[in-house]
A and B are shown apart, each in its own frame.
Chain A
Amino acid sequence: KNEVEQSPQNLTAQEGEFITINCSYSVGISALHWLQQHPGGGIVSLFMLSSGKKKHGRLIATINIQEKHSSLHITASHPRDSAVYICAVQDTGNQFYFGTGTSLTVIP
């Protein structure tokens, strides 16, 4: 069993819809990361958080340390948001664990 589980694995949405991607983890962490990977392969860091909530534009990330759960929300989704979203956690020994990713397709 992977230390980081994401759901759903695949997600298709209509442009403008509100999207939620979930991440659960089983290790003690110092930080959780949300990453975005476009079809070309490159990975970009969206958020790094250890508590509460962060917002950047239409993206919102939340984390509940007690429940070992995080969510990534996208408001007013757009086709350019189509990508794979990866949840990753840093444990207290600074080792990274990655989820398998959620493939998002936003249809115009």
Chain B
Amino acid sequence: ETGVTQTPRHLVMGMTNKKSLKCEQHLGHNAMYWYKQSAKKPLELMFVYNFKEQTENNSVPSRFSPECPNSSHLFLHLHTLQPEDSALYLCASSQEGPARANTGELFFGEGSRLTVL
């Protein structure tokens, strides 16, 4: 138990569906991240939120839409995905200091395994 909870753990969706992934952290952290993990590839950073503000968007297609309503919750809204979007989506959190210096390690959730048919 890392203190970061992701739901659902598994999701199968068609290309025309709309679904959402949810992440909740119970660690009091102020930074949250979405990562994509595809087979045999390094983790790819998708989005970063610091103090609920989006600070990075690594050229992610608009069919992925993040939402961070508060510092404990992070969503990834999915619509009109492609089969190549099938992957493990990992949420993580960390504690960032006032000077935006990352003071510690990343805490990951269990991941949401997404299959797009």
Contacts and interface: CB of A to CB of B under 8 A. Distances in A.
Contacts of B41: 100
Contacts, number: 50
Nearest to B96: A94
Interface residues of A, number: 23
Nearest to A45: B105
Decide if the interface of chain A is mainly helix, strand, loop or mixed: strand
A43 B108 contact: yes
A22 B110 CA distance: 25
B105 A41 contact: no
A84 B38 CA distance: 14
Contact of A48 (B42, B88, B105): B105
A41 B45 contact: no
A45 B107 contact: yes
A2 B108 CA distance: 22
Contacts of B109: 42
Given A33-B105, A41-B90, A98 B110 contact: no
26 contacts: A2-B42, A30-B102, A33-B105, A33-B106, A40-B111, A41-B9, A41-B110, A41-B111, A41-B113, A42-B108, A42-B110, A43-B90, A43-B92, A43-B108, A43-B111, A45-B105, A86-B43, A88-B43, A88-B106, A90-B102, A94-B100, A94-B102, A96-B43, A96-B45, A98-B42, A99-B42
Interface of A: 2, 4, 30, 33, 35, 40-45, 48, 86, 88, 90, 94-101
